[in-house]
Structure 1
């Protein structure tokens, strides 16, 4: 009987393991069927659209996970050569190539038609992916970190706030310019214009957004910049951006990334903006109470936050949208000014030509909005700076569906390229802006005169394109133009005090690693 009992137990256990084995086999079979079904569907899709595989591939030492690519990018970032190294890859491998990062397939491209397809023609096929996981620590869910309906809603609310009447408020710029002039040395001593450009733009941007300026320039003039909460916010905003940018560049390794100083900077930024959000909510409540009583609200000047608070009830969403717009309003303009004046200080011919245009046009007056727009050489210089040093030099999208790009497939790269759902497509504006076939053999040179006849399409993308094109484009160009004109009126000469060549400082935007070290001669 004991033997029989033992056999029954053995067969029972065997039956149990057989069920588990069968379940595992069935699971593998189902996965295999789904995989091959998807593969067959993708192959059919690719064939129908004439797609060919990408021939150009990054020469990985680790072709499976691409760890060498990740290490290479980290080292390039430390050397401040990430963009230049990327440019070299494109000039060596071609305008579209594939690479592996943590086993994920990434397509990198500088083909204008591909960029146009991603950002416009097939806008709904692509999205920003996991941007909220990286930038969201600082920016939350706003216009730059959201997709789909939330993004569409954010854009619809923000767009009216960049009407010409708001963009053309030059009086606000002039107030901050006068403070800037008081800080700039007039004895030929060295000064870093980049430092002051970032203070200027955060002062003007916070006045536009909050109704009250951070006044970091005034704090510098009075010598209390180290203690004021406004100046503290400006410093924290820089550190916070650097922290989230590093987190974004290391990809999946961000799960192991620790940056207590960055976290503290983010906390300071949130607390600082929250006080303005609270004030805006109180403003909204006063307006709503007044309207209930039949009154008509009157405001002395336009305030972005007050208008936004009438549409958004949630305080966190208000803060998120403000930080998103502040990032664009402050950093894009400051970066443009810093990069452009880095070059102007080394090119007396450009400085002289710019100053002649300003003197001939204005004859000592401060410029109007229309006069700024009509200064051709000023526009050429800003265009050329944005071409060589685009403030957002690289970007990416994730394919939400199986789709294809018009170029990049086949040995010559001229055939359509199948893009599987989940594939990351990176487009490098920095490298695209330096293509010899579009800009000539002197594409690496700063040459404003090329814009006399240049009429680029999607190969020039300083403010993105398609439905997500930058809403603050005119605000940034107006502010950069105004600051440049007023500096040209105030100073008759500028000379560089930096022996080094331009090097990249890349956080969420691009500026000069060494600042903009110059000496100024008063007019």
Structure 2
């Protein structure tokens, strides 16, 4: 008992010292801002600063658990009125969040912002060094990936009918023409994993075959480890530079198992005849021209899998989530698809051909806008820089951003704000895209050197599967009526799934 006062005194002294350092640093930052003609952005949850932002961190963790973090983040802006850029302080780390299209455009175009060292290290145990974790100024992994997911190469990719048939086998149709109750979300993740693995390693992992109920209906080991590892990585990133606090033996075991599975795929391709597969491009074949290091091959292909598989599956899920709740849009889209493509199966990912069906593009864009596949994008200030606006009482003054500031780009909050999208911003209306010119207020793929690696590929996958499902089914009925929930593992997808039933087309 005699040690208790000493321990409490040490804790209080430590907190006081940390608070003193924070206030002194803030004083220096304020002086720099004044000298540069800048004014500070308003503070969100200002009372929590004196508690090191722990109330903010706890509310974000709880919102993540309750699958409502995008809404909570949007509310942090709305609580301050017509404010689009705010300051936060969590665990002593400086954070600036913005939903201002002017600032967003500036951040994406400026070389002063990159991936932060903490985020990179948080991802490293699972996917290693590659396009997601390397700095823009280091080995140019990202330009390599973009070159191999470019429009001309995407258009050469064939989606084998085997993948489509496996998906359809998971959908049982009754005598009345209606399917049984089905959650489309896991089917889409299996589908995109099979396509992505074939493109990356030259061989499909056939996750759909394993998931067919007659074969056990389970995930393959690679998929289990990848999904579990990504979910854990997302939690690590929530703690910024204290990511290392979020670790476990289980996580490290999952990483090791995933690496073993990927190593087998890499070795299998390297020991096979490259001519097998015909004209289908295999990205690993291109990577081995620059490195033979097995760890590097594993890391680069895992980064590619993360770039290709989940964003496409998430967007597919949200597209059908909204189509199920808007049957008139579904009917209009089906008519447009039949007029543009008829009933012939789509095999090639010909994005130029898909663009010929304008309403299909509008539906995909609207699903992307309203659901924000990446609700929060992150950047890190690698040098002192001024944002164009967000400071002062009216938010029109420039804001000083010191080196080391974490930048959060609130896509969900920006893509649903009435000031940028009108009073119907919260409604799913594909027709809004008929005459709209896209600006920075719609930035689902990010931008600049760290923009999304394969937006054309992702859209081509979503368009291809949407076409084939609407060729096959002429009606959809929503069977999930709970409020929307956002399950985030870097991308967001419906926490309630995409639970529907479909009607087999008679025509």
> Is 1:336 matched with 2:315?
yes
- 1:130 correspondence with 2:104: no
Contact 1:225 1:231 in 2 (8 A): no
* 1: CA distance, partners of 2:328 / 2:484: 19
Instruction: Tell me which residue corresponds to 1:104.
Output: 93
Question: Residue 60 of structure 1 contacts residue 68 of structure 1 at CA under 8 Å; is this kept in 2?
Answer: no
Residue 270 (structure 1) aligned with residue 228 (structure 2): no
Unaligned runs of 5+ in 2: 1-20
Q: Does 1:442 align with 2:424?
A: yes
Residue equivalent to 2:224:
235
Pick one of 289, 306, 310 that aligns with 1:327: 306
Deviations 1:360-405 (A, max 9, x none): 1122223462331111111011101110112211022221211110
* Aligned mates of 2:158, 2:133 — CA distance in 1: 32
- Structure 1 window deviating more from structure 2 (460-469 vs 195-204): it is 460-469
In structure 2, the partner of 1:404 is 386
Give, in whole Å, the separation in 2 of the partners of 1:352 and 1:281. 47
- Give per-residue Cα distances to partners, 1:177-228, cap 9 Å, x unaligned: 122112211123101100100000000000111110011112233744567x
**Matched residue of 1:345: which SS?**
helix
Matched, 1:383 2:365: yes
What is residue 184 of structure 2 aligned with on the other side? Answer: 193
Question: Does structure 1 residue 204 correspond to structure 2 residue 181?
Answer: no
Count of aligned positions: 473
Structure 1: gaps spanning 5 or more residues: 1-31, 288-296
Checking the alignment, whether the CA contact within 8 Å between 1:206 and 1:212 is kept in structure 2 is: yes
Of structures 1 and 2, the larger Rg is shown by 1
Q: Say whether the 8 Å CA contact 2:119–2:240 is kept in structure 1.
A: no
The structure where helix makes up a greater share of residues is 1
1: CA distance, partners of 2:455 / 2:131: 15
Question: Following the alignment from structure 2 to structure 1, what is the Cα–Cα distance between the partners of residues 115 and 212?
Answer: 45
Q: Contact between 1:503 and 1:513, CA under 8 Å: does it hold in 2?
A: yes
Structure 2 CA distance for partners of 1:516 and 1:209, relative to 1, 3 Å? same
Matched, 1:159 2:159: no
- C-alpha change, 1:482 and 1:199, in structure 2 (3 Å) is same
Shift of the alpha carbon at 1:124? 3.3
- 1:221 is the counterpart of 2:243: no
Query: What's 2:411 paired with?
Result: 429
Cα displacement string for residues 113-167 of structure 1 (whole angstroms, at most 9, x for unaligned residues):
21122221x22354433212211111111111110433x5212332321233431
Structure 2 equivalent of residue 306 of structure 1: 285
Rounded Cα–Cα distance in structure 2 between residues aligned with 1:171 and 1:77: 37
- SS for the counterpart of 1:411 is coil
Contact 2:312 2:461 in 1 (8 A): yes
In structure 1, C-alpha distance between the alignment counterparts of 2:161 and 2:137, rounded to whole Å: 38
- Alpha-carbon separation, structure 1, partners of 2:53 and 2:444: 30
2:339 is matched with which residue? Answer: 360
**Higher mean Cα deviation, 451-460 or 57-66?**
57-66
Q: Distance in 1 between matches of 2:343 and 2:157?
A: 16
Q: What's the offset of the Cα at 1:508? A: 1.6
Q: Is the 8 A contact 2:113 2:379 kept in 1?
A: no
TM-aligned CA distance change 1:361 to 1:108, over 3 Å: same
Judge conservation of contact 2:225–2:258 (CA < 8 Å) in 1: yes
- Offset at 1:500? 1.3
Which residue in 1 is equivalent to 2:62? Answer: 75
**Cross-structure match for 2:9:** none
Q: Find the aligned partners of 1:472 and 1:478 in 2 and give their Cα distance.
A: 10
Q: What is the rounded CA distance, in whole Å, between the counterparts of 1:277 and 1:58 in structure 2?
A: 49
Question: What is the alpha-carbon distance in structure 1 between the residues aligned to residue 277 and residue 424 of structure 2?
Answer: 52
User: How far apart in 2 are the matches of 1:500 and 1:55?
Assistant: 35
Q: 2:189 touches 2:309 (CA, 8 Å); kept in 1?
A: yes
CA distance in 2, matches of 1:222, 1:81: 32
Contact 1:497 1:518 in 2 (8 A): yes
Partner residue of 1:394 out of 358, 367, 376: 376
Aligned to 2:326: 347
Partner residue of 1:52? 39
Once the two structures are TM-superposed, the CA of residue 346 in structure 1 deviates from its matched residue by 1.4
* Match of residue 504, structure 1, among 486, 490, 505: 486
> Which residue of 2 is the match for residue 488 of structure 1?
470
The 3-state SS of whatever aligns with 1:344 is helix
CA distance in 2, matches of 1:132, 1:448: 36
Aligned counterparts of 2:263 and 2:251: Cα–Cα separation in 1: 18
Residues 54-105 of structure 1, C-alpha deviations (whole Å, 9 max, x = no match): 2343233342511111111111112111110111111122211111101122
Task: Report what 2:233 is aligned to.
Answer: 244
Q: What displacement does 1:260 show?
A: 3.4
The answer for the alignment partner of 2:10 in structure 1 is none
Q: Would the alpha carbon gap of residues 495 and 222 (structure 1) be closer, same or farther in structure 2, given more than 3 Å must change?
A: closer
CA shift for structure 1 position 433: 0.5
Quick one: distance in 1 between partners of 2:320 and 2:330?
9
